[in-house]
A and B are shown apart, each in its own frame.
Chain A
Amino acid sequence: MRVLRGPAEERIQVPLSGAAILFLLCSLVEILEGKVLPPALHVHCLFIAVFYLAWYATPLKGAVAGSLLGLVEDYLFDFYLGLNGLSKTLIGFCIPYLSRWTSAELGPMRPLLIAGIALLDRGIVYGMLYLLTQRGPETPISAILSSAIVTGLAGEAFFRLYDKFRFPPSNFRRL
């Protein structure tokens, strides 16, 4: 794990191999759950991945990760290429600033934050889609809301699990 020194604080970055594995896993889960789960329970794994990667990255890297994963999501779900890319670029760019401005231990607030931003992501995507095609979302709004909440909870769980894996308590015992 590389530790980079930023201007005001130390930034911990996810290694490239880890990001790649995360990306592949999320893609796989997205495909599977798209076929099995109803829309209301759909967990946006790629969104969680973007959120996680950007949380520990610089704004530019967050935006790049968001753009790439967004394009993958567009490809997997047969959207116009660039719709999710655009929304996740913006979100990937903003999340590093959020991570700096909020305290590291958000506690119960983090799932809400993830759910809120997931909702914002859907809003940008469907808003753009409406502007381009004058068509609203096919998924009901209640399902979108429900999916955002589920994504928030799943994201929080992912944060806890993956952080435990990346930062095992044995490392801290040596300090």
Chain B
Amino acid sequence: MTEAGRRKPLLGLSLLILFNLLLISVQVRSEDGRTLLRSWGLMIFTPVSLATDFVIDGVYDTFDYFGSLQTFHEENSRLSEENRLLKSELHRLRALDRAFDRDARFAFIRDLYAFDTVLAGVIWRSFPAYNQTLVVNVGERHGVRKDSAVITADGVVGRVTTTTLLSSEVQLLNDANAAAAVTLEDSRLQGITQGTGGSVLLLNFIPNTEVVPEGELLVTSGGDRIYPRGLPVGTVLSSQRGVIYQRISVKPAVDLNKIEEVAVVIGKP
């Protein structure tokens, strides 16, 4: 028998089965009243319809994507330029903000302490293990003299030890050779801070009989004729009894490792 001859009965059988199934499907109804033919039709054609939609949408999206590439490129260039401008604007505004902040802080110092200061930027800093000094970009030409007090809005930084025409060397409060006359703000006890070369100061000449609470503020007393009276120096970290005087550790009011700009007091404090 040929291939076509073998297929003929099967084809006939398929047609007859299909015919009978169609007959059944137009008579039987589902619970919602639809004929089985309609339900089967929905069952068969819904995935086909979904697949067709998927393919058509995919093709459309692909063409749309490639068509939009030029627009994306232009949009990207525009946004990049805008981003660059905004960044430069941001940097400018930050610089302005810093300048305003700095001016505001030093204006505050002038108003608060009523003495003349000159603003200075730090241009050099010593190696910490050697000594605690820095160099600022103001000198004799700006009215700076030896022993001029150097401060920030937070408190005392140190004193000028050497001056040139356009720069000055500043000895920080935590230098081992530095000292300042101070008063404990609440108890009004007088003492002298001494640098340790590290991050803390020592407060000397407070008798063992006095009680010094942790966190009490130290301000300059003006007794050393260098620092104007009333500037914050630091706060008490801890105190230990000594032979006669207590051994008191003080945390500086200014973070001496992060100084970028200072004010130098000119004229008599």
Q: 1/0 contact trace for B1-24 toward A, CB 8 Å?
A: 100000011001100110111111
A residues in contact with B20, CB < 8 Å: 67, 70-71, 82-83, 85-86, 89
A89 touches B23 (CB 8 A): no
B36 on the A face (CB < 8 A): yes
A132 touches B12 (CB 8 A): no
A93 touches B9 (CB 8 A): yes
A90→B19 CA distance, assembly (Å): 13
A residues in contact with B12, CB < 8 Å: 60, 63-64
B9 touches A133 (CB 8 A): no
B17 touches A86 (CB 8 A): yes
A89 touches B17 (CB 8 A): yes
B residues in contact with A155, CB < 8 Å: none
A residues in contact with B187, CB < 8 Å: none
A residues in contact with B19, CB < 8 Å: 67, 82, 85
A93→B13 CA distance, assembly (Å): 7
B residues in contact with A86, CB < 8 Å: 17, 20-21, 24
B13 touches A80 (CB 8 A): no
Closest to A59 in B: B9
Q: How many residues of B contact A (CB 8 A)?
A: 16
- A125 CB to nearest chain B CB (Å): 11
B24 touches A83 (CB 8 A): yes
Q: Which of A60, A70, A82, A90 is the one whose CB lies under 8 Å from B9?
A: A60
A63 touches B9 (CB 8 A): yes
A86→B28 CA distance, assembly (Å): 15
Q: Assign chain A's interface to a size class.
A: 20 to 34
A132 touches B28 (CB 8 A): yes
A residues in contact with B36, CB < 8 Å: 132
A133→B28 CA distance, assembly (Å): 8
A residues in contact with B52, CB < 8 Å: none
- B164 CB to nearest chain A CB (Å): 106
With known contacts A7-B1, A86-B21, A89-B17, A81–B27 Cβ distance under 8 A = yes
A58 on the B face (CB < 8 A): yes
A residues in contact with B24, CB < 8 Å: 80-83, 86, 128, 132
B8 touches A60 (CB 8 A): yes
A118→B1 CA distance, assembly (Å): 31
A89→B36 CA distance, assembly (Å): 21
A64→B16 CA distance, assembly (Å): 7
B residues in contact with A71, CB < 8 Å: 20, 23
A85→B13 CA distance, assembly (Å): 12
Central interface residue in A7, A64, A71, A82, by most chain B CB within 10 Å: A82
Central interface residue in B1, B8, B13, B20, by most chain A CB within 10 Å: B20
Q: 1/0 contact trace for A93-126 toward B, CB 8 Å?
A: 1000000000000000000000000000000000
- A101 CB to nearest chain B CB (Å): 16
- B212 CB to nearest chain A CB (Å): 94
Closest to B22 in A: A82
A residues in contact with B16, CB < 8 Å: 63-64, 67, 85, 89
A89→B8 CA distance, assembly (Å): 15
Central interface residue in B8, B16, B22, B36, by most chain A CB within 10 Å: B16
Central interface residue in B8, B19, B22, B36, by most chain A CB within 10 Å: B19
A63→B23 CA distance, assembly (Å): 16
B residues 8-48 near A (Cβ < 8 Å) are 8-9, 12-13, 16-17, 19-24, 27-28, 36
Q: A80-B23, A81-B23, A93-B9 are in contact. List 4 more A-B contacts (CB 8 A).
A: A59-B9, A60-B13, A71-B23, A133-B28
B positions within 8 Å CB-CB of A: 1, 8-9, 12-13, 16-17, 19-24, 27-28, 36
Listed by A's residue number, 25 A-B pairs whose Cβ atoms lie within 8 Å are A60-B8, A60-B12, A63-B9, A63-B16, A64-B12, A64-B16, A67-B19, A67-B20, A71-B20, A80-B24, A80-B27, A81-B23, A81-B24, A82-B19, A82-B22, A82-B27, A85-B19, A85-B20, A86-B17, A86-B21, A89-B13, A93-B9, A93-B13, A132-B24, A132-B28
